[in-house]
Structure 1
Amino acid sequence: MTRRFICILFACFTALTASAQRISPASFKALAEKEDSLRYFASRIIFEQEQERREEACDLFIPKLVQALKTPGSFYYPFDSLRTVSIQYPKDSTFRIFTWALQREDRSFRHYGAIQQKSADGQLKLYPLFDNSDFINNWDTITSPKAWIGCLYYKIVQTQYFNKQYYTLFGWDGNNFRSQKKMMEMLSFETGQPVFGAPMFSFAEDTVRKPTLNRFVLEYKQDVNVSLNYSPDMQKVMYDHLISETNEPGKLATYVPDLDYEGFQWKAGKWVHIEKIFHDALEQGKAPIVAPLDQSKKDLKRIRTDDEVFGEQKAQQEKKKKKN
């Protein structure tokens, strides 16, 4: 047994022990047993061939999840084997959000979710999220859990302004057969209740000023990858600048990345838009890629994360600076 393997084993044991210290042995055992059943139905929601069976699996998954979360101390149980369910925590770990998606026959998506708040006595404090996006024409609005604009959350960034905590949620929506969407929205708690959306996306520093938004949404062509994520190293949100590949600005399903990047930076209680992240100009006659890509080395079975993409971009920038 190598030293590296022993370290990994010890780290896993430590993490499980830390969780178990907040959950009684009986509760931990009960949750582990419930997780097996949840994993089975969560997998069916994604992989069943017929929509009716996917919906049936989802209808069975929801009460089983609520039942599991009613177990005292369940907040500290990670449910990390639920690979098809996104579970996101803010930095202060005061709550967590479960979200998952069900694809319909027409390739549109319905999303499901719940916010579980940490409680002092270990009892369940849960806010179900009801996807109302099919009935909301204007997404630039402030909503409650009962009128949630459904998506699959993949990151939470916590910020503070005047001693109040704000949580920026990053989400993905498969949308339909023509386009996908990614979004940023604010989550706050007003008198203990979750509120989605806030006028915190400012374009005041743009060359041409635009109105402040309650929610920032990117819609783009179905079969392309678009990044929208927070870079801790740069302390900025970065996302792909999009253009219509058919020169039809009114058709968002034609939008694709053009290898430029925009972003946002947290300033005085708002995410302030940055029109251009990178300002390094290429030397005349220099190609943006220093060497042809070796297509044989591309791993098409593994999708790179936004953090990996940003890491590669940062490495290229550092390399270029050293050359200069």
Structure 2
Amino acid sequence: MILILLLSRVFAQQPVVANNINQLNTYQDSLKKLGNEFVHNQNDLERKNANYAFIKTLVTALKTNNSFTYPFDSLKTISLTQSPDNKFRIFSWHVANNDGSYRFYGAIQMNTSGPLKLYGLEDYSPLIKNPEDTVADNRTWFGAQYYTIVPVMSIKPYYVLLGWKGYTDKSTKRVIDVLSFKDDKPVFGMPIFEGNNKKRSRVVFQYARQASMLLKHVPAQNLIVFDNLAPPDKRNKDQPETYGPDLTYNGYQLKNGKWTYVDNIDMRNIPNEMDEGYVDPRVQQQQTRPIKAEPARQKRVQ
């Protein structure tokens, strides 16, 4: 009798789970269509309207029970990155403006057993004068599209975020940011990057739009490694929009909860696998704006 009661409860619960999945599948189909609109539509106003509809639909979808476990794996127009400790995940994406610039959007979904706990991310980039010195919250976010989350269990636990940040029609940025939680709310930025006679709360790289920059985490060595960026000529040293990789590499090494700058890393000692599944978000713009072929790398300019 007890077994029958248990089985009846299990079978009674299955349609609820199935209904949730079916509902989320329907929402995902709508999100795919809206995502294609805000990426590929030639009309600026229609792209923005599609994005606003996308945000409303996403929030509604995430209110579905057990939505945190739903992968949204058919949704290719955004980045969905989950923390390795399974405590949260970040939705992040961008919408291109007609002048070649970008606006970023995102949300942090916490892994809870109860009602939805979601923090919207508002791109405050144009008003942030010194991003490497700025600590912000979710409403003053230095927008980016993230592809890697690195948890750091120090005295004050935090997460390092690696992201792509389209900038203008001439240059692109990448970002090493920090996410922590204070009073159960997200905080971006922390003065933990040391080197070059400066302490930074986040690290921002700027380079020519047609170039491609390596920025990846190497877990086995507690290292973040990246291309050294240099101008094509000394006369361009004050023009970061002309910079590109020069075949040398630098990094940040984790030591006692902080990241120390390391110059001129020997890449022969670094595993050469790239971040799995990461596609440069510029690819999403190929149908709306041509992307030039990646140039040959310049020699390092001292």
Distance 1:63 1:305 in 2: 37
Partner in structure 1 of residue 123 of structure 2: 131
Partner in structure 2 of residue 167 of structure 1: 159
- Is 1:111 the equivalent of 2:104? yes
Contact 1:87 1:98 (8 Å CA) reproduced: yes
- Is 1:26 the equivalent of 2:14? no
Q: CA RMSD in A?
A: 1.9
Contact 2:207 2:242 (8 Å CA) reproduced: yes
Q: Secondary structure at the match of 2:139?
A: helix
Partner in structure 1 of residue 279 of structure 2: none
- Give unmatched runs, 5+ long, in structure 2: 1-12, 277-302
Partner in structure 2 of residue 249 of structure 1: 237
Distance 1:217 1:305 in 2: 23
Output the amino acid matched with 1:56.
Answer: N
Distance 1:176 1:279 in 2: 30
Give the C-alpha shift of residue 233 in structure 1: 3.8
Distance 1:269 1:232 in 2: 14
Change (3 A) 1:279 1:119: closer
Q: Give deviations 1:185-235, integer Å, cap 9, x for gaps.
A: 1100001000000001011xxxxx411100101100110001111023443
Partner in structure 2 of residue 232 of structure 1: 219
After TM superposition, the score normalised by the length of structure 2 is 0.82
After superposition, residues 277-288 of structure 1 pair within 5 angstroms as 277-278=265-266
Partner in structure 1 of residue 182 of structure 2: 190
Higher relative contact order (CA 8 A, sep 6+): 2
Q: Give deviations 1:277-303, integer Å, cap 9, x for gaps.
A: 1188xxxxxxxxxxxxxxxxxxxxxxx
Give the C-alpha shift of residue 243 in structure 1: 0.9
Q: What is the aligned residue count?
A: 258
Give the C-alpha shift of residue 250 in structure 1: 1.2
1:143 equivalent among 136, 143, 154: 136
- 4+ residue runs over 6 A deviation: none
Output the amino acid matched with 1:128.
Answer: G
Partner in structure 2 of residue 35 of structure 1: 28
Between 1:101-110 and 1:228-237, the stretch displaced more is 228-237
Change (3 A) 1:126 1:307: closer
- Is 1:52 the equivalent of 2:45? yes
* Percent sequence identity over aligned pairs: 37
